[in-house]
């Protein structure tokens, strides 16, 4: 009996010590404040950080935990993580144009050594690096040239994926190059997407700078929203465009619809349920939205001539007759990349100001449109 009690006491003692050790680690951590994003968190310790990515893609079943450690950092033996990266990162590969503005905002674009689909990049700053052969073409995101990437030997690859199946990333990881998933595109709010700059701030050991940048963007956004609320009218608005005889437009709970609400407009499909796109027949849209005063995000159309060549029925919309159709396809980089899809997620304040300038022109007299331009 004494032996049993002795063994029991030893087990209790070990259990308490393990628990105390974990508690000590937790007490030493400093949680980075994430105000609007829901897809990631950052826990910072003395010589390392843990980034937890909760939504690398829609309906992801597991979180990913990434260890960012300083050189020669003392890491607890029982720490669990999926990938480890030494910070600050010196050589990086990213796989989405939405990652480019964060690198530039942190003044780290020169760390970029490879990208799949260089022609999609619009930024003049990064294009200068491309033109001087400092950034290598890696093919397409769905089929990255892994041989070229491995030869580049980046410190980390920032992945973008729509689901768990990505053979290119699996191949890269097997060589010892860490792949970290970025899920900025899964966020459902404008400020939630923009806050992912803190993700990159942790990679470059620039957490305070990333925090400062985000606070400035958020402040500008909220001030613009407040200004829009002062407008006396809320014009009726439609969005989206036709594809294969179906009109695709933002659902009422989507990222795009949030902009239209914050710009104090009456988006005619704001009451639709869902977070992605709404698909409707042309006749249905015409019946409901024929009298809408504005039409924004009108697909790939650049001119009214293109619009009418597609269908004369577009003339029946009030927004078309009064020349109030705006497209993001007119703001492009020199190789054809659309600025809105690259910079927009990082600068929601500029998107909102664009829409306020369109819907309530008297509120922003000296502001020039960045993304949305009227059709030619």
CB atoms within 10 A of CB 348: 25
Q: Are residues 29 and 62 in the same domain?
A: yes
Residue 48, domain extent: 25-217
Which has more pLDDT, 165 or 285? Answer: 285
Q: Are residues 210 and 246 in the same domain?
A: no
- Domain count across the chain: 2
Looking at the fold, whether 171 and 279 belong to one and the same domain comes out as no
Task: Judge if pTM exceeds 0.85.
Answer: yes
CATH number assigned to the domain comprising residue 265? 3.40.50.1980
Domain end call among 217, 252, 272: 217
DSSP state of 186: G
Average pLDDT over residues 77-90: 95
How far is 4 from 185, CA to CA, in rounded Å? 57
The verdict on residue 269 lying in a domain is yes
Same domain, 184 and 52: yes
Task: Check pLDDT > 60 for residue 21.
Answer: no
Give pLDDT, residue 274. 81
| 300 within some domain | yes
Instruction: Using a pLDDT cut of 90, give the percent of the chain over it.
Output: 79
Confidence (pLDDT) at 28: 62
Residues 42 and 106 in one domain: yes
Q: Examine residue 8 and state whether it is found in any structural domain, yes or no.
A: no
The verdict on residue 134 lying in a domain is yes
Q: For residue 245, is pLDDT > 90?
A: no
Say whether pLDDT at 341 is over 90: yes
302 and 211 both lie in a single domain: no
Neighbouring residues of 306: CB distance < 8 A, sequence distance ≥ 6:
none
pLDDT tens digits for range 34-82: 999 999 999 999 899 999 999 999 888 899 999 999 999 999 999 999 9
Most confident of 74-78, 124-128, 246-250, 294-298: 124-128
Q: Is 290 left (phi over 0), alpha (psi -120 to 50) or beta?
A: alpha
Per-residue CA distances from 104 to 43, 107, 213, 326, 376 (Å): 24, 5, 11, 28, 31
Looking at the fold, whether 173 and 279 belong to one and the same domain comes out as: no
220 vs 98: CA distance, rounded Å = 20
Together in a domain, 186 and 327: no
Q: Is residue 17 part of a domain?
A: no
Cβ contacts of 128 within 8 Å, gap of 6 or more: none
pLDDT in tens, 314-332: 999 999 999 999 999 999 9
Place of tokens 């937890």: 52
- Are 143 and 239 contained in the same domain? no
| Residue 22 predicted with pLDDT over 50 | no
């Amino acid at each position: 009996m004494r032996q049993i009690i002795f063994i029991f006491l030893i087990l209790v003692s070990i259990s308490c010590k393990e628990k105390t050790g974990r508690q000590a680690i937790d007490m030493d951590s400093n949680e980075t404040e994430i105000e609007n994003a829901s897809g990631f968190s950052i826990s910072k310790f003395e010589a390392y950080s843990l980034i937890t990515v909760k939504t690398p893609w829609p309906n992801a079943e597991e979180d990913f935990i990434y260890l960012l450690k300083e050189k020669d950092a003392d890491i607890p033996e029982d720490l669990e993580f999926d990938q480890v990266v030494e910070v600050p990162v010196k050589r990086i590969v990213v796989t989405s144009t939405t990652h480019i503005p964060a690198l530039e905002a942190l003044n780290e674009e020169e760390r970029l050594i490879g990208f799949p689909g260089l022609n999609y990049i619009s930024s003049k700053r990064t294009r200068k690096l491309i033109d001087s052969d400092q950034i290598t073409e890696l093919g397409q995101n769905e089929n990255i040239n892994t041989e070229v990437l491995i030869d580049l030997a980046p410190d980390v690859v920032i992945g973008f994926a729509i689901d768990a199946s990505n053979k290119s990333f699996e191949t890269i990881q097997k060589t010892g190059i860490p792949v970290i998933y970025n899920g900025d595109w899964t966020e459902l709010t404008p400020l939630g997407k923009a806050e992912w700059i803190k993700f990159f701030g942790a990679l470059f050991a620039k957490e305070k700078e990333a925090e400062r940048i985000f606070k400035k963007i958020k402040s500008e956004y909220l001030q613009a929203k407040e200004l829009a609320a002062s407008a006396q009218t809320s014009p009726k608005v439609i969005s989206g465009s036709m594809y294969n005889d179906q009109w695709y437009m933002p659902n009422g709970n989507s990222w795009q619809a949030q902009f239209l609400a914050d710009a104090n407009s009456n988006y005619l499909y704001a009451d639709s349920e869902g977070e992605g796109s709404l698909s409707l027949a042309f006749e249905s849209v015409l019946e409901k939205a024929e009298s809408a005063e504005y039409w924004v995000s009108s697909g790939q159309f650049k001119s009214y001539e293109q619009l009418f060549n597609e269908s004369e029925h577009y003339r029946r919309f009030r927004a078309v007759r009064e020349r109030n159709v705006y497209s993001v396809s007119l703001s492009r980089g020199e190789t054809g990349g659309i600025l809105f899809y690259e910079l927009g997620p990082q600068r929601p304040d500029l998107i909102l100001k664009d829409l306020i300038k369109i819907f309530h022109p008297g509120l922003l007299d000296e502001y020039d449109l960045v993304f949305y331009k009227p059709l030619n």
